[in-house]
Chains A and B, each alone.
Chain A
Amino acid sequence: MAAVAIGEQADVVARRRTLRQRWYRTSAFVAGLAIIVGMIAATLAAPLITSYDPNAQDLLHNYAHPSGAHWLGTDHVGRDVFTRLVYAGRVDLLIGFFAVFFPFCLGLVLGSLAGYFGGIVDTIVMRLVDIVVAFPFLVLVIALVFVLGPGERSIVTAITLVGWVSYARIVRGEVLVQKRQEYVLAARVAGFSSSRIMLRHLLPNVITQAIVFAMSDIVLSILAIVTLGYLGLGVPDPTAEWGSMIANGESLLTTQWQIATFPGIAIVIVGLGLSLLGDGLADLLTPE
């Protein structure tokens, strides 16, 4: 038993070392990183890539077909589709990041508290988790956004309120295992406070699994954001957003197929990049 525990402990650090030394040899990780970094760079450099304003209307040249001037044509009010595609990436990736960051933090805090203190704290947190888990993810998010009203802030709030449960479960489980390790007892014998033990001693030992999960979760979040946009519950017009672009272009698929198709392709590429990144991270951080 003890020997197994020692092996696992050694693995944690060995894995961290692996991450530092071998990340560039893990093809999935490198490919995912390249795609995501490329996407982020492109959206940040949007003003350099295109000279149009994403919201500038040009009613005389609406429904333009792809050309040298408008690479992907224009939409029903003459806005440049390519420009909107690039600027929409900013919105979707940024909301996607926050829609994972906040659930991650909330889940980490509540999961740690539940796992470390147990008893009534654990009961309250885990019953909350049960309530949230009882509903399908998207149904609950849509209901919450409906109540909170459309907009970036409500989307992030809704996804945070629903998404934290996965992180809380993962972290709680890890804390339950780690808090029985002798180094936690040693830290208590050394007179360290509970908050210090949780933050400095337990957290670095439990966070790995949550990070790996976050990478796959961000794909789900972006899909949820896009779905909300498609359903008209997302970011309000005129802000460009992939989901609403697909919704707007959908009725024109037979004549102006590129309006709805390219945002779809962008979503697929982001999803692919994040999945590769998540797979690569999982390979690097967990034992074979």
Chain B
Amino acid sequence: MPILSVRDLRVEIPTPGGIVHAVDGVSFDLHAGRSLGLVGESGCGKSMTLRAIPGLLPHPGRIAGGTVEFAGTDLTATSEAGLRKLRGSGIAMIFQEPMTALNPVMRVGDQIAEGPRLHLGRSKAEAKERALDLMGEVGIADRARRFRAFPHELSGGMRQRVMIAIALSSEPRVILCDEPTTALDVTIQDQILKLLRRLSQSHGTSIVFVTHDLAVVAQTCEDVAVMYAGQIVESGPVRDIFREPRHPYTLALLRSVPDVERVRHDLSSIPGRPPELSALPVGCRFAPRCTLARDDCLEGDVALVTDLVGRAVACLHADECAADARRDPAVVA
């Protein structure tokens, strides 16, 4: 049984220009100890999906339909008090910008120790002990001194390590990561990703990883779901999908990533822009930008179809796309 199961999730944001369907029927399963990457362009609804899981959508966004089942409980039907108990101890979150996500006037050690005191019922001394242990685990040297440091006294990488320690502090079963390495430079990014992966494996924690960076997904996740205009267009094991994408959008995304090992002369961008989420086109939402689009793509909504090996794709011409990908692989296997 999956630890986290999202079914047909819909998120609406009422705006003066009409209702924006930021997330429009998203479904995925996250199994214990596994990590899932949610990828897509800015505004595709990946962050909204993530924020909807613990019930913390930014105002005035709201969940308009669907279920979010965590360990058998439907979170969309849970009271605020019930959600508060689950947050931190059941589901934790790591943010993009560790400077703003840490309280600037609180010592980082106290920030790590706060969760264990509240959720695990530790005494002050025990919580401090745990905080120091966690700081060691996330690779912070000179712990006693750093415990008393304020966030601005630490480097970006160090602050993100503190965020990870905070996320792990109350022994959650799922960690939601919202672009946790986007604000870091590449060498630090690599360290943080390896750390996250190692810790999630040793603690048996599942991870949902929201990012626009396919390289990060390749490095961190076992499964991937590609989102476009509020919907998942393709999902499945990272290896399979990167080797042979069956959705033209996935293929286009992969082809737009620069590759150091193989100098790609035809580094391509995707023409056009994603559709306005308040005025969606009829039919496949990617069709206006798709090189494989035919007339039938515009006729009606394209369903996400799951095949026998655990891959799902929402494209009428998936075979054609796969053939194209085989002819000119986007990723060196």
Contact = CB atoms under 8 A, between A and B. Distances in A.
B118 A191 contact: yes
B34 to A, nearest CB: 21
Contact of B100 (A183, A187, A196): A183
B104 A5 contact: no
A277 to B, nearest CB: 22
A275 to B, nearest CB: 27
Interface in A8-30: 9-10, 12-14, 16
Interface string A137-154: 000000000000000000
A106 B317 CA distance: 66
A190 B115 contact: yes
B105 A13 contact: yes
B105 A205 contact: yes
A184 B244 CA distance: 42
A205 B119 CA distance: 24
Given A13-B105, A191-B84, A186 B170 contact: no
Interface of B: 54, 56, 84-89, 91-93, 95, 97, 99-106, 114-115, 118-119, 150-152, 163, 166, 170, 183
A71 B121 CA distance: 65
Interface string A187-230: 11111110010001100110000000000000000000000000
Given A10-B152, A12-B105, A189 B87 contact: yes
A189 B92 contact: yes
Contacts of A193: 84
A190 B63 CA distance: 21
A204 B97 contact: no
Given A9-B152, A12-B105, A13-B104, A190 B87 contact: yes
A181 B115 CA distance: 19
Contacts, number: 87
Residue of B89, B93, B105 with highest tally of chain A CB at under 10 A: B105
Given A190-B87, A201-B106, 11 more contacts: A5-B100, A16-B105, A183-B101, A186-B163, A188-B56, A189-B91, A192-B84, A192-B114, A192-B118, A196-B118, A204-B106
Contacts of B102: 183, 186
Interface in A134-192: 181-183, 185-192
Contacts of A190: 87-88, 92, 114-115, 118, 166, 170
Nearest to A183: B103
Residue of A12, A13, A185, A191 with highest tally of chain B CB at under 10 A: A191
Q: Say whether chain A's binding surface is mostly helix, strand, loop, or mixed.
A: helix
B106 A6 contact: no
Contacts of A187: 103
Contacts of A200: 106, 114
A9 B99 contact: yes
| Chain A interface extent, by class | 20 to 34
Contacts of A9: 99-100, 104, 151-152
A183 B159 CA distance: 13
B103 A191 contact: no
12 contacts: A9-B99, A9-B152, A182-B95, A183-B103, A186-B102, A189-B54, A189-B87, A189-B92, A191-B170, A192-B88, A192-B114, A205-B104
Contacts of B92: 189-190
A9 B102 CA distance: 10
Contacts of A2: 97, 100, 183
Contacts of A13: 104-105, 150-152
Contacts of A191: 84-89, 115, 118-119, 170
A181 B84 CA distance: 19
Interface of A: 2, 5-6, 9-10, 12-14, 16, 181-183, 185-193, 196, 200-201, 204-205
9 tightest Cβ-Cβ pairs between the two chains A and B: A191-B88, A191-B87, A10-B152, A9-B104, A190-B88, A182-B100, A189-B93, A182-B101, A186-B101
Residue of B86, B103, B170 with highest tally of chain A CB at under 10 A: B103
A185 B99 CA distance: 13
A9 B105 CA distance: 8
A6 B95 CA distance: 14
Nearest to B91: A189
A173 to B, nearest CB: 18
Nearest to B104: A9
Nearest to B119: A191
B56 A189 contact: yes
B14 to A, nearest CB: 16
A181 B106 CA distance: 14
A187 B170 CA distance: 13
Contacts of B84: 191-193
A189 B89 CA distance: 10
A7 B310 CA distance: 47
B13 to A, nearest CB: 17
Nearest to B89: A191
A192 B93 CA distance: 13
Contact of A183 (B104, B118, B150, B183): B104
Contacts of B163: 186
B100 A12 contact: no
A12 B104 contact: yes
A140 B116 CA distance: 50
B168 to A, nearest CB: 12
A193 B89 CA distance: 14
Contacts of A201: 103, 106
B103 A205 contact: yes
A205 B91 CA distance: 27
A18 to B, nearest CB: 13
Nearest to A9: B104
Nearest to B80: A194
